[in-house]
Amino acid sequence: RLLLRNCRLSDDIGFRFSDRSWNQYPLTADKYSLWLRNTPGDLVLVAMDYETFGEHHWPESGIQEFLAWLIRRCIEQGIEMLTVSMAGLKYEVRDIYDIPPWHTISWADIEKDTSAWLGNLMQKRCFEMYTWIEPYVKAIGGEYLNYWRLLGTSDHYHYMSLKTGGPGEVHSYFSPYTNPFEAFETYVEALTFLIHSSLVEYREHVSRYAWRLRLPPRMSFQFYLTEGVHTGYSARGLDDLLRLLDVVPPESLVYHIRRGDLQMWISTTILWPELSHEIDRVRKISKIELLVRELKRIVESARTP
């Protein structure tokens, strides 16, 4: 179940409470409780950061007194207070909310999308590097995976924002860096070091790690009968490849071996050139049955016990 945050009413407290230029300033408990009561729907989800109390709004702003009186006024207005769990149990599902990845929503900045973290070229390039190394660090595990997860903290990307105005002030206020470019340089240096050290570790023990590798669909090997004629099969790792050798039409395997497609994928994506060279030896076998049999033998023998 998903509870949708009321953006306006949440930001009225979270960001606008102490803004003297706001046309509703000062915000009182009487006024806000009336807004809550007159809002349609089963419930109103008011969600804000912990920084709201004492960071965004200092005690001198009256935020604490506002909260104390708000609870009293809500009780007087017959407004019930619920936790998220209580609300989820009390109310029936109203509808399906379908958000594709390219329309992801957030409560950040004016746009309320992912632009706070992936809105400029620096952020996008860093994220591309970060997601590219993902399957390899997951195959290795251990401290490499832990460091990778730490570099995935959204704050790193938040600090690289080039936004101006109010949103820009928020980004720079929390950043430990002088400017977004310093944040970018620092992050790239750390991520590049992780990528390099991970690939060195992966290559040193490739016969073990390669079998743990689970690639995303965009990096998988696609089987074709001829150019433009897809078989419907794809391999996201060596386990998939070994299984599909008994399923994919032999003509498809021969097609890719003759062209060197499979060898290239194993060398440049699986990062196992030695296995690629072994497989390339079957290219000259003329009989399809013998070629497929030898291909399967080579892949099976590469598995570490």
pLDDT tens, 44-78? 999 998 889 888 899 999 999 999 999 999 999 99
Average pLDDT over residues 19-48: 95
> Rounded to an integer, what distance in angstroms lies between the CA atom of residue 214 and that of residue 217?
9
Does residue 305 register a pLDDT over 80?
Answer: no
Helix axes 142-151, 121-140, angle to 10 degrees: 160
> Rounded to an integer, what distance in angstroms lies between the CA atom of residue 103 and that of residue 202?
35
Does residue 249 register a pLDDT over 70?
Answer: yes
Lowest mean pLDDT of 10-19, 27-36, 184-193, name the range: 10-19
Pairing of strands 221-226, 229-235: antiparallel
> Rounded to an integer, what distance in angstroms lies between the CA atom of residue 273 and that of residue 111?
46
Three-class DSSP category at 187: helix
pTM: 0.84
Average pLDDT over residues 118-126: 97
Query: How do residues 151-182 score in pLDDT, each as one tens digit?
Result: 999 999 999 999 998 788 878 878 999 999 99
Per-residue pLDDT band for 234 (boundaries 50, 70, 90) equals very high
Q: What is the pLDDT at residue 166?
A: 78
Query: How do residues 200-230 score in pLDDT, each as one tens digit?
Result: 999 999 999 999 999 999 999 999 999 999 9
DSSP label of 57: B
Give the domain ranges of the chain: 7-103, 118-204, 217-301
Q: What is the pLDDT at residue 209?
A: 98
| CB of 70 closer than 8 Å to CB of 116 | no
| CB of 274 closer than 8 Å to CB of 204 | no
| CB of 151 closer than 8 Å to CB of 187 | yes
> Rounded to an integer, what distance in angstroms lies between the CA atom of residue 174 and that of residue 178?
11
> Rounded to an integer, what distance in angstroms lies between the CA atom of residue 98 and that of residue 104?
10
Query: How do residues 73-100 score in pLDDT, each as one tens digit?
Result: 999 999 999 999 999 999 999 999 888 8
